[in-house]
Amino acid sequence: MEYTIKGTTMPVVEFKLQRGEALFTEAGGMCWMSANIEMKTSGRGGGLGGFLGRALSGESLFLTTFTCQGNDGLIAFGPSSPGQIIATELKEGQSLIAQKGAFLCGQDTVKLEIHFRKQLGAGFFGGEGFIMQKISGPGWVFTEIDGEVIEYTLGAGQEMKVDTGYVAMFEPSVQFDVEMVKGGVKNILFGGEGLFMTTLKGPGRVWLQTLPIQSVASALIPFLPRPSSG
């Protein structure tokens, strides 16, 4: 399998596949493909538990696998909003924890699961509820992240405070929790950052996004047409 990420703010990842090579994605991720690519949609990934987990989390219920039936197959996948595509090769036993909707596509050896946060604080106030995505190797995985991507590697015990919604992805070794904003009533009421901040604690890598899609949606609300009172 060969891949190339093309474009800037609305990129696509384009693959050249050989006979028998396969990729899978959530419904709607494919942009274009050659005629020798076979498409099969199913509820793969965790059996009934995975199916129900995706239903409860608001994710696509079905996943689609694309398999090359001859040499030099071509297929491309694109994100649902402006941002970047991150390519990561996961070894056996390696995983990533990502925000809902971050998974774009991956080799058919990759496992996609629902990840439930354990802390009540993180669940109620972390911006994404209790549900995230756990992506496990072996194989290549491609994730879509809103806006630009900033990556940090945190040392053991090193902490970073992040505004809710800007955490795109992190390694399982990183502790994720949410705490109330400190510094008094003025910070809470007039700081513009809400009541809670996300805390990431190393060791491990974290990927932050500069333009969460929920922030874009909130900024557009004042400009949307309002229904007529009459």
Q: What is the pLDDT of residues 3-46, one digit of tens each?
A: 999 998 899 999 999 999 999 998 778 999 999 999 998 765 55
230 domain residue, yes or no: no
Q: Which domain holds residue 167?
A: 2-221
Q: Pick the more confident residue, 189 or 152.
A: 152
186 domain residue, yes or no: yes
Tokens of 222: 């004042």
Q: C-alpha angle 118/47/176, rounded to 5°?
A: 20
65 domain residue, yes or no: yes
| CATH classification at residue 84 | 3.60.160.10
Q: What is the pLDDT of residues 141-186, one digit of tens each?
A: 999 999 999 999 999 999 999 987 899 999 999 999 877 666 544 5
Instruction: Give the DSSP letter of residue 155.
Output: P
Question: Which amino acid, residue 74?
Answer: L
The SS3 of residue 7 is: coil
Tokens of 205: 């890598």
227 domain residue, yes or no: no
Cα atoms in the Cβ-side hemisphere of radius 13 Å centred on 125? 18
Residue 126 has pLDDT above 70, yes or no: no
Tokens of 5: 């990420």
Please give the Cα distance from 208 to 107 (Å, whole number). Answer: 24
Q: C-alpha angle 163/164/167, rounded to 5°?
A: 90
Decide: pTM greater than 0.85.
no
Q: How many structural domains compose the chain?
A: 1
228 domain residue, yes or no: no
Residue found by looking up tokens 């990561």 in the block: 88
Please give the Cα distance from 190 to 161 (Å, whole number). Answer: 18
25 domain residue, yes or no: yes
Cis amide linkage into residue 222, ω under 30° from 0: no
Least confident of 48-52, 130-134, 211-215: 48-52
Tokens of 34: 């050659």
